[in-house]
A = this chain, B = another copy of it.
Amino acid sequence: MWATTTAVSWKTLGLASLLLALGLEGVTRLLLFVLRGRQQRRSSASEVLFFPAPPTCTEALLRPSRPLPCACGLPHTESSLSRLMLRLLSARRSLELCIFSFSNPQLARTVLLLHRRGVRVRLIADSDYMAVKGSQVGVLRKAGIAVRHDQHIGYMHHKFAVVDKTVLITGSLNWTTQAIQTNRENILILEDVTVVKAFMEEFERIWQEYDPSTYEFFPAKK
């Protein structure tokens, strides 16, 4: 009788412990699976681009419907500019742009392409630099893209973009051909939720502050 009772209690304990062990192993495996997935998403998400980037042909990105390769003499290789364009072209719903100086035609065509595809584009510019020769801000505005600008003595010196409210593209690079092809510059691409949220909040703050209804006709000169 004692042996049977002992056997039963050991049996219960054994089964319970086995279930516990299996349960915990399951939890551990699930935990590791989820965390590994998160880590992979993290590492694939962040990217660093450095400039100057040598001129390359980006027509394949801007005219994806044309099957024939472009006949221009430029190299048809990847560059920091084409990587940047690819990241922008991944936008499906929204693109927030907060760019101090924007005169590069390829990046303007990238933004126009997204606008035509139905992506909601909003652009914040600096009032001085949007008026310089070669600026693409007027071109984008004429195409129907919403543009707002500062009226301050200081510069709106940000150079960042947010793709689909999830990907931040930021750095030292102004969106000018000189900066892309001649300067030492950096671009950092991140999907960190907290960082993206902070930049989106800054965008919305500026967007509200630069509401055209608050514009003065003769503001203090810079």
B198 touches A172 (CB 8 A): no
B202 touches A50 (CB 8 A): yes
Which residues of B have CB within 8 Å of A21? Answer: 17-18, 20-21, 24
* Min CB–CB distance A96 → chain B (angstroms): 13
Which residues of B have CB within 8 Å of A32? Answer: 31
- Report how far A111 CA is from B18 CA in the complex, Å: 60
Knowing A14-B13, A150-B184, the reply to whether A195 touches B46 (Cβ < 8 A) is yes
* Min CB–CB distance A56 → chain B (angstroms): 17
Range for the number of chain A residues in contact with chain B: 35 or more
| A78 CB–B CB distance under 8 Å | no
Residues of A within 8 A of B (CB): 3-4, 6-7, 10-11, 13-14, 17-18, 20-21, 24-25, 27-28, 31-32, 35, 43, 46, 48, 50, 52, 100, 150, 152-160, 170-173, 178-179, 181-186, 188, 192, 194-195, 198-199, 202, 206
| Known A24-B28, A31-B32, A160-B172; 16 more pairs at CB < 8 Å | A3-B3, A10-B11, A11-B14, A18-B21, A21-B21, A24-B24, A46-B192, A46-B194, A48-B199, A100-B172, A152-B182, A154-B183, A155-B184, A158-B172, A172-B172, A188-B195
